[in-house]
Chains A and B, each alone.
Chain A
Amino acid sequence: MTGLLTAGRVRFSLALALVLLLEALCRFGVIDRFAMIPPSEILWHLGRILAGGTMWPAIAKTLTNVAIACVSAIVAGIILGTLIHRWRALRETLDPLFAAYYAIPVYAFYPLFIVIFGLGDMPQVLIGFMLGLVAVIVNTLNGLDRVPRALVKTARIHRLGPVATALQISLPFAAPYIFTGVKLAVAYSFIGVIGAELIMSRTGLGYEIGFAYNNFDNAVMYPLIVLVLAIAATVNTLFFLWEKRLLARRRR
């Protein structure tokens, strides 16, 4: 515990030192204002933007799309993972696809989605969903692979059907692995949706960042970048803490 606190303290100190260094470099002109504004100004502008309200529609849009993509990927991923696990031949057929999936440049499909669904939310959600889905499937399969035979036999003795077995025994046992997939799905959904917004979009945080960049508006661009990173890091941390709590309960 002492070690953990110390490590955390060092981490915080390093981050703070980095921020102070950036502040000094910007103030003394080593980093051109054209390239970057000081961290303190970034925070000030961030406060101004959030208080002003004009960016809230874009923020709400992006977070909504990320949430939809993420939840869809998780639900569909767990269901598909469970079904694929029960069908051995399908599993073996799809394994190569899963292994190669993240080498496929998913963004290349974005224009296809735009043509089919129009320049709205659906293409972005689909990109996020596509990126997140396979992570959940693969981790669900990994988790289900590790369910002890003893538990499966116990389920059979109690005459549980396939659905009951999955819901009451297999999936709960596989939860830690599925959770890894969930965390990845969250990360990939952010990456997918915001990336799609940057490529071509009419609204959203990604679009606003690109727009500000194209107009050399550092007072808007940097605060929004910090905002996105802060949101992603916060969500990631919350899931990490939640996972830690779940695992602690299991260990007990």
Chain B
Amino acid sequence: MRALRAAILIACILAGWQLLFWWAGSSALTSPLDTISYTLQLLGTPSFYPHLAETGQAFAAALAIAISCGILIGFSLGLYRFAGEVGEPVLVALYSIPKITLYPIVLLAFGIGMPAKIAFGAIHGIVPVAIFALGAVRSLNPVYAKAARVMRMPPAQIASHVLLPAAIPEIFTGIRIGFSLTLIGTLLGEMFASQRGLGYLLIQAIGLHNVRVIMALTLLLVVIAVTASALLLAVDRRLRGRAAGTT
């Protein structure tokens, strides 16, 4: 039944796309069939893979930084009550500001190329991870904390053996959101300051009004993003299911 609903949803999207194509004409977009075939053609082109690799590389680095720093920040603010009171409003404010506005500063600080892309992706993803990690520590079952204290565990061990396992479901939700924002940040970084990558190809196609490339890249990015998100969501649900079972 779930698969049937997913199929219906996809069919509706494709139908809507086809109708939009008929209405807007080929100067605006290409039809679903043309787009899919051109995307496959693009994937078959050797010169395309350096761009794909570059984006993947930058994104992976940015995500690693966002997750590790985000969890570190979230745990630090969560463990020390006063630090949390000071820091949480700052995190919430950071979440709401349009970080894209900071791209000139990022470029001036990191230069044009890979470092800027990684930095740009990371600053997009780090805040949601930190916020969810903070929330996870806050909502930790007091019994765990007391048990750890009774056993006289050192702080590092408390963090790795008690906090992290208990907080994983919540943190993973933050990671899932962080994933999305990091991807967007990385692509934006490529659009503004790079000579390689999917974002660069996209902005180049925009400049040349190359509708086929624009549509193909958009489809590819959407498929990649949705697939990854679905996988992360499945893992998220499994983690929560296990956590619920434990409690």
Please report A residues at the B interface, Cβ cutoff 8 Å.
3-4, 6-7, 10-11, 14, 34-36, 89, 92-94, 96-97, 99-100, 102-112, 114-116, 183, 186-187, 190-191, 194-195, 198-200, 206, 209-210, 212-213, 221, 225, 228-229, 232-233, 236-237, 240
Contacts and interface: CB of A to CB of B under 8 A. Distances in A.
A7 B82 contact: yes
A206 B96 contact: no
A113 to B, nearest CB: 9
B53 interface: no
A36 B148 CA distance: 48
Contact of A115 (B2, B28, B100, B105): B28
Given A93-B8, A105-B183, A112-B29, 4 more contacts: A89-B5, A108-B214, A191-B99, A194-B101
24 contacts: A7-B86, A10-B82, A36-B105, A89-B5, A93-B8, A94-B9, A100-B233, A102-B181, A103-B225, A103-B226, A105-B187, A112-B28, A112-B29, A112-B218, A115-B211, A190-B96, A190-B98, A195-B100, A200-B206, A213-B104, A228-B98, A232-B97, A233-B97, A237-B93
A187 B95 contact: yes
Contacts of A194: 98, 100-101
Contacts of A195: 98, 100, 188
Top-5 shortest CB links A-B:
A103-B229, A187-B96, A7-B85, A100-B229, A103-B225
Given A100-B233, A112-B218, A228-B98, A92 B5 contact: yes
A200 to B, nearest CB: 6
A99 B233 contact: yes
Interface size band for B: 35 or more
Task: Say what secondary structure dominates the interface of chain A.
Answer: helix
A232 B95 CA distance: 10
B222 A108 contact: yes
A190 B100 CA distance: 10
A212 B209 CA distance: 25
A147 to B, nearest CB: 23
B103 A198 contact: yes
B42 interface: no
B246 interface: no
B9 to A, nearest CB: 5
Given A92-B5, A102-B180, A225-B102, A199 B203 contact: yes
